[in-house]
Amino acid sequence: MKLALKELKFYKFKYVLVTLILFLLAFLVLFISALAQGLAKENISGIEAWNQEQFIISEGVDDSLTQSDISEQMDQIEEVTIEGHNIEFSRNTIDATNSNIDIVFTNTDENIAPVADEGRFPETSDEILLNYKLTGEGYEVGDTVKIKDSDTTFEITGFTEDIMYSHTSMAYVTDGGMDRLDSSSIAAVALPEDTNGISEEINNIEDVKMVSNDVIKNAIPSYQAEQQPLNLMIVFLFIISAIVLSAFFYVITIQKSSQLGILKAIGTKNGELVKTILVQVILITLVGVVLSIGIMFTLNTVIPVSMPFYLNTSLMMTVSGLFLAVAFLGAILSLVRIVKIDPLDAIGGE
Amino acid sequence: MGLKINNLTKSFGTGDIETQVLKGVDIEVKEGELVILKGASGSGKTTLLSIIGGLLGRSGGEVSLNGENYLDIKEKALTSMRLKEIGFIFQSSHLIPYMKVIDQLTFIGEQAGMSSKNAKIRAEELLKEIGLGHRLKAYPNVLSGGEKQRVAIMRAWMNEPKMILADEPTASLDAQRATEVMEMIRDNIKVKHAVGLMITHDERLFGYADRIYTLDDGYVADEKMDKKELIYN
């Protein structure tokens, strides 16, 4: 430990540079991860907010909730299950101050609907709860939203965070509220789980099928298209980090091979030298990652609400843990080198 | 007691390319003695010293320190022995550049199990003893060659070893510094009843040795020669 700290202190510049590179890599990984999470939230947060495992939807609509319409089959469905929550969907456009905004209206019952983060849930047919992102358009509780090309208006009673479907903000209204909208229909019946093994019976109903939560999410075209390249970038960044760290520590170890050989010759155990490298790797990684987390949190407070950017503790912990693992992997070459150093090479011989 | 080397052999390579560097070396160094080992370049002096120091395996023969045949013990135990019972002094000081003078010694002491406090007290004593009391907090890059080598010598003495192995410790020093360093090594060996084996080509230093061995063609020669004979002939 002492050896590791003394070396870090003496060669400040060299190790500050390594830390800086690690910080930049960690920052990039965190930024892209937060972006990926933000984009994921924009696609599927509305579905996740329901916290349901199974959905009964129309067949032949590519598992898309917005295209699904099971209104006609509801009598047959209700004969099979009584535990489901009916989900009505209606895609509409509202007149906003600067532009028109598409909104997915839904009326899911309060048992599975999200809690209002600001204000309250709608109680009458002319009230509406909006996705928090719309506050970026200047909307506040008490304001009125107007459906485009129609006289229908709703008064905003509250906002809640992260209710989006396929990059479209969602809005909750009452059953009466849904009736005031054109083209509303029952898109799905949500079930907490297939507890009674009813999937076979449901699938036997014409033009209806039961699918899992994941199927619904993956059916959103933008979700997979966005997540795959971003996740690939994150994986590559981790690989690059491992290679960069590996190269740095290996070169540094080669540079001090002679010193390490002398230390071994005078009786320093391999374990002590291995510990030295590990302490340095862990310290440099932690400083780099903690710095990047600090910058990310600062950034999170200034980034506009409309930007798809989502930062949470579990993401931070995961990335920090992965970086430590990657740094450890990168240090393995150096550790092998240390163990193989022959003290005789350091002191010379005939 | 002391160091006893019996019929020590060492070969490199096998078959047609086998080279026998040591063909049966016998050396004895008693406690409190400083023995100089000389010989032409390539005669196997450093190989011999490396085998005695447990850094290189031997092909045959026995090496014992105070009656203990230590070369066949496990690697971990041998490393521990190098730390606690053998003091190495190299041609160059080989100080660790990022450690202050006092830390060069305390690190070795702590590795051997000394408490930080005791290691510091002992290191200070040793460094003051050789006139480096004012350099305790200095890094090696500001020390002169002589100062560096004196620190290296005291590093070798830090754990009170039973044996000092020195490979041309004065090669990088001027005559005056070389004399100082030799006196320091010899006096410490005498006072601490250790065993000292030193490689050197510098004939001016032969006078400090109790006996002088010459390694030639894989054998030890001249072992009976008196040091006065060597100096005056």
Give the domain CATH number at B189: 3.40.50.300
Q: Assess whether A50 and A144 both reside in one domain.
A: yes
Question: Is there a domain that residue B91 lies in?
Answer: yes
> What secondary structure letter does DSSP report for B36?
E
Mean pLDDT value across residues B188-208: 90
Measure B94 CA to nearest chain A CA, in Å: 7
Query: Which of A92, A42, A94, A61 minimizes the C-alpha distance to A188?
Result: A61
Task: Out of A173, A197, A220, pick the residue that ends a domain.
Answer: A220
Residues A8 and A117 in one domain: no
User: What is the rounded CA–CA span in Å between residue A62 and residue A209?
Assistant: 11
At B232 the pLDDT is 40
Number of domains in chain A: 2
Same domain (yes/no): A190, A209: yes
Per CB-CB distance under 8 Å, the chain B contacts of A10 are 97-98, 139
Q: Is residue B11 part of a domain?
A: no
Is residue B229 very low, low, confident or very high in pLDDT (cuts 50, 70, 90)?
very low
User: For residue B9, what are its two tokens?
Assistant: 């052999």
pLDDT tens-digit series, residues B97-133 = 999 999 999 999 999 999 999 999 999 999 998 889 9
pLDDT digits (tens, 9 = 90+) for B16-46: 888 889 999 999 999 999 999 998 888 888 8
Q: How crowded is residue B60: how many other Cβ atoms within 10 Å of its Cβ?
A: 13
- With 50 as the cut, is the pLDDT of residue B227 above it? no
Residue B41 backbone dihedrals phi, psi, to 5 degrees: -60, 130
Residues A166 and A241 in one domain: no
Contact criterion met (CB below 8 Å) for A164 and A42: yes
Is the ipTM here above 0.90? no
> Is B68 among the domain residues?
no
Based on the fold, state whether residues A83 and A152 are members of the same structural domain.
yes
* A23 and A51 share one domain: no
Interface of A with B in 183-242 (CB under 8 A): none
Domain that holds residue B175: 31-52+74-213+225-232
Instruction: Look up residue B93 and give its two tokens.
Output: 């000081």
Looking at the structure, do residues A198 and A101 belong to the same domain, yes or no? yes
From A220, A247, A275, give the residue that closes a domain. A220
Burial of A140 (0-12, 13-18, 19+ CB in 10 A): exposed
- Domain assignment present for residue B150? The answer is yes
Task: Identify whether B111 is part of a domain.
Answer: yes
- Whether A8 and A50 map to the same domain: the answer is no
Residue A256's alpha-carbon distances to A7, A124, A218, B94, B221, in angstroms, are 11, 75, 52, 12, 39
Shortest Cα distance, chain B CAs vs residue A280, angstroms: 14
Residues of B in contact with A349 (CB under 8 A): 46-47, 50, 56
The answer on A172 and A53 residing in a single domain is: yes
Q: Are residues A27 and A50 in the same domain?
A: no
Question: Cα(A158)–Cα(A178) distance, rounded to whole angstroms?
Answer: 17
Is residue A187 domain-shared with residue A265, that is, in the same domain? no
Angstrom distance (rounded) from CA B160 to CA A95? 89
Q: Do A35 and A49 sit in the same domain of this protein? A: no
The domain of A133 spans 44-220
Nearest residue of chain A to residue B41 (CA atoms): A350
For every one of its 350 residues, what pLDDT tens digit does chain A have, with 9 covering 90 and above? 888 999 999 999 999 999 999 999 999 999 999 999 899 989 999 999 888 889 999 998 999 888 899 988 888 888 887 778 888 888 899 987 778 899 999 987 777 888 889 999 999 999 999 999 898 888 999 999 999 888 899 999 999 988 999 999 999 999 889 888 876 788 899 988 766 678 888 888 889 999 999 999 999 989 989 989 988 998 898 888 888 888 888 898 898 888 899 999 999 999 999 999 999 989 999 999 999 999 999 998 998 877 888 888 888 888 888 888 888 888 898 999 999 998 888 776 44
Mean pLDDT of B218-231: 58
> Please, which residues have CB within 8 angstroms of residue A127's CB and are 6 or more apart in sequence?
A154, A155, A156, A157, A173, A174, A177
Chain-chain contact of A6 with B98 (C-beta, under 8 angstroms) = yes
What's the pLDDT at A350? Answer: 43
Q: To 5 degrees, how large is the angle CA B123–CA B127–CA B133?
A: 115
Mean pLDDT of B3-20: 90
Give the count of Cβ contacts less than 8 A between chain A and B.
77
What's the domain count of chain B? 1
CA distance A94 to A214: 30
Locate B105 and state its tokens.
């010694």
Residues of A in contact with B79 (CB under 8 A): 264, 267-269
Domain boundary among the residues A220, A254, A283 is at A220
pLDDT in tens, B148-189: 989 999 999 999 999 999 998 888 778 887 888 888 889 989
Within-domain flag for B63 = no
Q: How far apart are CA A76 and CA A91, in angstroms?
A: 26
